[in-house]
Amino acid sequence: MNSETPILHRALAIGVTTAIVGLLWLYTSQSSSYLVVDMGEMLTRFREIWFFERFTSDFVPSIERLAMGYALAVVFGVAFGLGLGMLPAFRALLMPLVSFLRAIPPVAMLPPAIIILGIGNTMRVFIIAFICVWPIVLNTADGVAELDRTMLSTARAYGLSRWERLRLIVLPATMPRIFAGMRTSLTFALLLMIISELVAGTSGIGAFLISAQQRFQIPDMWAAIILLGLLGIVLNYLFTLMERRVIHWHIRSGGK
Amino acid sequence: MPHVERLPLIERKSVQILLGLLGLLLALVVWDLAVRTEFVNPIDVSPPADVAEELIALLGTSALWSDILETLKGAAIGLLVAAAIGIPLGTLMGLIPAVNAALRPTVEFLRPVPGITLIPLAILIWGQSITTVWFLVAVGCVWTLVIQSFYAGQAMDEVTLDTARTLRLTRRRFIWSVVLPGTMPYLVTGLRIALTIALIAAISVELLIGVPGLGSAIVEAQNAGRLPEMYALIVISGLLGILIQVVFSAIEKHVLRWHESQRPGSGQ
- The alpha carbon of residue A158 is apart from the nearest alpha carbon of chain B, in Å, by 24
Residue length of chain B = 268
Average pLDDT in chain A: 87
Q: Looking at CA atoms only, how far is residue B48 from chain A in angstroms?
A: 14
CA distance linking residue B36 with residue B222, whole number of Å: 21
> Closest approach of chain A CAs to the CA of B10, in angstroms?
6
Q: Note whether A235 and B112 are within 8 A (CB).
A: yes
Q: How confident is the model at residue A2 (pLDDT cuts 50, 70, 90)?
A: low
How do residues B30-84 score in pLDDT, each as one tens digit? Answer: 999 999 998 988 889 999 999 999 999 999 999 999 999 999 999 999 999 999 9
What's the pLDDT score for residue B4? 57
Closest CA to B226 of A112, A190, A23: A112
* The model's pTM: 0.86
Chain B interface disruption, residue of A104, A227, A230, most B CBs within 10 A: A104
- A217 interaction partners in chain B (CB closer than 8 Å): none
B116, closest residue in chain A (CA to CA): A191
Other C-beta atoms closer than 10 Å to the C-beta of A234 total 11
**At residue A168, does pLDDT exceed 80?**
yes
Question: Confidence class of residue B216 from pLDDT cuts 50, 70 and 90?
Answer: very high
> How far, in Å, CA of B107 to CA of A16, rounded?
12
B90 and B150 in contact (C-beta within 8 Å)?
A: yes
Is the model more confident about A29 or about A78?
A78
- B113 pLDDT more than 70: yes
- Domain B54-257 coded CATH 3.40.50.300: no
The whole-number pLDDT of residue B203 equals 95
pLDDT at B232: 96
Whose CA is closest to A198, among A91, A58, A88, A96? A58
In a mutational test of the A interface, the residue from B39, B113, B237 whose CB has the highest number of chain A CBs within 10 Å is: B113
For residue A213, the chain B residues in CB contact (below 8 A) are 120-121, 123-124
Which amino acid appears at position B22 of this protein? L
Angle between helices B62-95 and B180-209 (to 10 degrees): 140
- By mean pLDDT, which of A162-166, A177-181, B129-133, B223-227 is the weakest? A162-166
Q: Chain B residues with CB inside 8 Å of A209's CB?
A: 117, 120
Residue among A97, A111, A228 minimizing CB distance to B218: A111
Which of A28, A66, A94, A107 has the most B C-beta neighbours within 10 Å, making it the best mutation to test the interface with B? A107
Chain A residues inside the 8 Å CB shell of B22? 93
Instruction: Summarize the confidence of residues B213-231 as an average pLDDT.
Output: 94
* Residue A211: closest C-alpha in chain B: B120
* Domains in chain B: boundaries: 54-257
Residues A102-159 have pLDDT tens digits of 889 999 999 999 999 988 889 999 999 999 999 999 999 989 888 878 888 888 888 8
pLDDT greater than 50 at residue B267: no
